[in-house]
Amino acid sequence: MGAILSISTTTVGEAIRRRVLLVILMIGVLLISIVPALSVLSARSDLTTTISSMLFVLRIVSVLIAIVLTVYMIPNEIERRTIYTILSKPVQRWQFLVGKYLGAVLALGLMIGLMAGVMLILFYFFKHPPMERMLDLLRQAILYFIEVSLLAAVAIFFSTFVTPLVNFFLSAGVWGVGSLLNPLYDSFANNQGSAPIIRGMAKFVTSILPNFSNYDVKNPIINPGVTIQNETTYYLGTAGYGLLYITILIIAGILIFDRREV
Amino acid sequence: MRRKNTKTTLLGVLALAFVGQFAVSQGYLLGFWRKNYSPGGIVANNLDPSQLALSLFGFREFLAGMLWVRADSFFDQGNYDAVLPIIRLCTILDPKQIDVYATGMWHIGYNFTDEEQRSDRRYIPSALALGKEGARQNPNTYEMFFETGWMWYHKVDDDYGQAVKWFEEAAKREDILPARRNLLWSAYQKAGRPDESLNYLYDLYDRAKGRLKDDQQFGNRQQYDTIENNLDTMLVRMVQRGWVAQHSEEGKKNNWYANGAYDTKPPFDVGFSAKVTVLSDRVLRVEGTWNVLPVGTRIRIVLRDADYPQAKMAELDWDSSDSVNLDPPRNLTFMQDQLFVRNRHFNRKIDMSKDPTMYPFIAKNYLVEFYYNPRSAPPHIQDKFGFNGEGFTDKNFLRTDVRETIQFKPAKFDDHKFPIEFEQIPLKDIPQRVMYTTLSLTQEQIRRKGEWSDKTPVVKTVNYVESTDSKDKDDVIYIPNLRVSGTGDAKAPAEAPKK
C-alpha cells in the first residue's frame, strides 16, 4: 500500500508540473470566467445559457486533461527508463499501475476541483442563484469527475500496449462513442421507425463499452422544474458502475502489463 | 502455481465486474437516465449528420443555448425568417427549453404580418403544433399548456372550447401562477359555459381567501379583491342576461325567461349588410352596416381560396396539424381581418398588393366571408347579446350551424400524464347564434385582369343599400345615451348618421 501511495503522490507532482496540462487548465478556467459575459447576449434565457456553457467547458476541458495526462504516463516511464529504477525496488507491476492510476485520478480531482470552484464562485457572484442550483452544479461536477476517472482508466488500459498517439485517438474515440450511447439508444428507442437491427446493435454496444453518458445529468439542471425521484440512488448507481468498469479496465491493464517486456 | 492462481482470480473478478456493470447499466441506469435526464425528442430524423454528431455527444443543451443566443440577435435585427429554423433546431436539440417553445410559438403565431400588420394566419396551425409539442415534452409544468391555451384564447379568438381544454390542463399542474390560473373562468364564459365559469370562480375565490389568510401581503389582497369583483359581476350578468332564468331548474319550471324582463329580450337585429369593391389589383374596399351604436364591434372578414384545404366557415382548421411546418402553403391565400364598426357602419380599405407572397391569389375562385360571434364581443355589448347570442339576431344572416359548442375531456394519457386523446362532447343545448354570410369573387376580379381590367368589380349582399352619408362623419364616434337603455338598441342621438 505504501508503494502505491508513494507512486501516486509522485504522479500527482509530475502532473502538476506538466506545462501542457497547466495550459489546458488555464484555458478552461479562462473560458469558464467569460461565460457570464456571454450569457447577456441571450436576455430571455441567460441562466440556461450560463449553466449549459459552463458545464460544456468543464466537461470538454476535463476530458482533454484526462486523456493528455494519462496517455503518456506508462510510455514515458518506459521511454525514460525510470520504470527500471521503480521495478527494481520491492514494487510489483500491478502496484505501479494502480499507483499511476490513482495519481492520475488525484491530479484530475485537483484540476476539476479548481475549475468547478471557479465555476461555482462566478455563478454565485453573477447570477445569485438559490442554493439548490449551486448544489445541482456541484453534483454535476462530481459526476464529471467520476466520468473522467473512468476515462483515465481507459487511457491507462490502452497505454499498457499502444503508443501515446494511438492511445490519444483510441481513448478519445472510446469516450466519444461512450458519450453517444445513451442519447443514441434513447433516440432509437423513441423513433419507432428505426430498423430493429440498428436498435439491437445500439443495445449491444451499450452493454459492452463504458457508458460515459450516464454521468451527463445536466438537462434538469439547465431546465429546472422537474422533480426527480430517488436521484441519490442513481448517483450511487453511477458511482458503482464507474467503480466496476474501472476495476475491469485496471485488471485487464494489469494482466497485459504483467506480460509485457519493458 | 501461485502466479497462475492469481491470474485466475483476477480473470474471475474481471468477469464478475463485467456482469455487474452490465446488470447495473441495463437494469437500472439506462432506464433512469432516459426517464429523467434525457433531453428527449427524436434527433435522429430531424438533424443533418454534423448536427446529429455534435448533439449526440452530450452537448445538445449547449448547442441549443448558443443557437438561442444567435436567434436573439436575429430578433433584434427584425430578421424573423432566420429565427424560424433556429427555433426548430433548438426545440429538437433540447425540448426541455420551455422558453424556446413559448417564444417560438408566439413568434410564429404573431410576428409574421403583412404591411398593414395583418397576421399571416397560415402559420397558426404550426404555432399551435409547436405548443402541443412543447406541452408533450414538458408535461410536468403548466407553462406550455397555458401558452397553447392563450394562443387559442387570444390569437384564434374563437373556438373557446379549445382554450378551455388547454387552460384546464394548465390548471391541473401544481406550479401554475395564481394570476394565470384565473384566466380559465373567462375562457369558460367565452366558451358559452357560464355555469362552469361561476363554479370555477368560487373555487378561485376559496383559494384566494386561503392564501390571504396565510399571508396578508398586497398581492394576495389584490388577487382576492379581483376574484371577488369578478364573482359579483358574473352573478349579475348571469341574472341580467337571462342565463339563470333559462338554464336553472326552477327558472325552466316557472318559465322565468318568458315572463321576465331581461337585457337579452327581445333579440336585437343587427341588420348586417356589406359591399365589396375591388379598387385595384389586390386592393378592396369593404363597407356596410351594423345597426349597433355602442363602440366595440369588430366583424371578422376572411378572404380565401374557395377550395382552401383546411378551411372551415370563417376560419381554418387551426388544430389540423401535429407536426411543425415552418413553411406555410405559399400557393394558397387566406386573409383575415376585422371590420371596426363606428356609427352603425363600417368602411375599410384592405390593401394586399404589397404582400404578394402572403396573398398569391393563384386559385380561380375566392370567398369573402363575414362572421360575427357574440362570444367574442366586449362585455358591454354582450350584456345585450347574451353569452351565446341569445339576445342577438340578424334578419338575413343569423346562423346556428356555423360553430358547435364543444367540451373536450381527456380520454387517454401517455406515461408522462400528457393527454394524448380528448373526447369531444358537443353541447347541443348551448347553440351559438352567429352572423355569417359569404360573397364570391374571382381571381380576375381581384387581380383586375381580363374583362375586369377597366371595370370595377362590386359584390354585395342582397340587402345592401347605398348610403348617402358623407364619409367625413366617420371621424366622429357617437356615444349612445346610457339613460335610454345602454344597450345596442339605444336610440341614436339626432345628429348621428342614419342609414
Tens-digit pLDDT profile for residues B82-131 = 888 888 888 888 888 888 899 999 999 998 888 999 999 999 999 999 99
CB B422, CB B415: distance < 8 Å: no
Q: What integer pLDDT is reported at residue A67 of this predicted model?
A: 95
Number of neighbours of residue A177 by Cβ within 10 angstroms: 16
Asked if residue B225 is part of any domain, the answer here is no
Asked if residue B207 is part of any domain, the answer here is no
pLDDT tens digits, residue range A197-228?
A: 877 777 777 778 888 988 988 888 887 767 77
Nearest CA in chain A to B94: A219
- Beta strands B283-289 and B273-280, pairing class: antiparallel
Q: What integer pLDDT is reported at residue A77 of this predicted model?
A: 84
Q: What integer pLDDT is reported at residue B105 of this predicted model?
A: 93
Nearest alpha carbon to residue B166 among B429, B428, B418, B426:
B418
Beta-carbon contacts of residue A200 (< 8 Å; ≥ 6 apart): none
Between A183 and B375, residue with greater pLDDT: B375
pLDDT tens digits, residue range A96-124?
A: 999 999 999 999 999 999 999 999 999 99
Three-class SS state of B204: helix
Q: What integer pLDDT is reported at residue B329 of this predicted model?
A: 87
Count of the separate structural domains present in chain A? 1
Q: What integer pLDDT is reported at residue B497 of this predicted model?
A: 45
Is A44–B99 a contact, with Cβ atoms under 8 angstroms apart?
yes
Angle between helical axes of A231-259 and A93-127 (0-180°, round to 10): 150
Give the burial string for A121-151 (b: 16+ CB within 10 Å, else e).
ebbeeeeebeeebeebbebbbbbbbbbbbbb
Query: Band of the pLDDT at A79, cuts 50, 70, 90?
Result: confident
| Chain A CB contacts of B77 below 8 Å | none
A140: containing domain: 2-259
Give the burial string for A94-113 (b: 16+ CB within 10 Å, else e).
bbbbbbbbbbbbbbbeebbe
Q: What is the DSSP letter of B142?
A: S
Q: How far apart are CA B102 and CA A122, in angstroms?
A: 29
Exposed/middle/buried for residue B217 (C-beta within 10 Å: 0-12, 13-18, 19+)? exposed
User: B residues 23-82 near A, CB within 8 Å?
Assistant: 24-26, 28-30, 32-34, 36-45, 55-62, 64-66, 68-69, 72-73
B17: containing domain: 1-29
CB B71, CB B87: distance < 8 Å: yes
φ/ψ of A153, rounded to 5, equals: -65, -40
Q: Quote the cell numbers at residue A213.
A: 453518458
Between A152 and A128, residue with greater pLDDT: A152
- Beta strands B268-269 and B283-289, pairing class: unpaired
φ/ψ of B275, rounded to 5, equals: -135, 135
Which amino acid is present at A49?
Answer: T
Q: Is B427 left (phi over 0), alpha (psi -120 to 50) or beta?
A: beta
Nearest by CB to B39, which of A38, A44, A219? A219
Q: How far apart are CA A76 and CA A67, in angstroms?
A: 14
CB B371, CB B435: distance < 8 Å: yes
B17 interfacial to chain A (CB closer than 8 Å): yes
Cis amide linkage into residue B374, ω under 30° from 0:
no
Is B17–A43 a contact, with Cβ atoms under 8 angstroms apart?
no
Between A52 and B383, residue with greater pLDDT: B383
Sheet order of strands, B458-460 included: B345-351, B283-289, B273-280, B458-460
Q: How do the residues of chain A divide into helix, strand and coil, expressed in percent and rounded to 5? A: 85, 0, 15
Count of the separate structural domains present in chain B? 2
pLDDT tens digits, residue range B438-461?
A: 999 999 999 999 999 999 999 999
Q: What integer pLDDT is reported at residue B47 of this predicted model?
A: 57
Q: How far apart are CA A41 and CA A257, in angstroms?
A: 52
Positions of chain B with pLDDT under 70: 1-3, 40-58, 468-499
Asked if residue B76 is part of any domain, the answer here is no
Mutate to test the interface with A, among B7, B52, B57 (most CBs of A within 10 A): B57
Q: Is the pLDDT of residue A41 over 70?
A: no
Give the burial string for B131-145 (b: 16+ CB within 10 Å, else e).
bbbbbbbbbebbbbb
Nearest by CB to B7, which of A223, A240, A255? A255
Beta-carbon contacts of residue B156 (< 8 Å; ≥ 6 apart): B124, B162, B163, B315, B318
CB A50, CB A99: distance < 8 Å: no
Asked if residue B141 is part of any domain, the answer here is no
Looking at CA atoms only, how far is residue B53 from chain A in angstroms? Answer: 8
Is B97–A223 a contact, with Cβ atoms under 8 angstroms apart?
yes
CB B39, CB B61: distance < 8 Å: yes
Looking at CA atoms only, how far is residue B85 from chain A in angstroms? Answer: 17
Q: What integer pLDDT is reported at residue A4 of this predicted model?
A: 86
Q: How far apart are CA A185 and CA A207, in angstroms?
A: 11
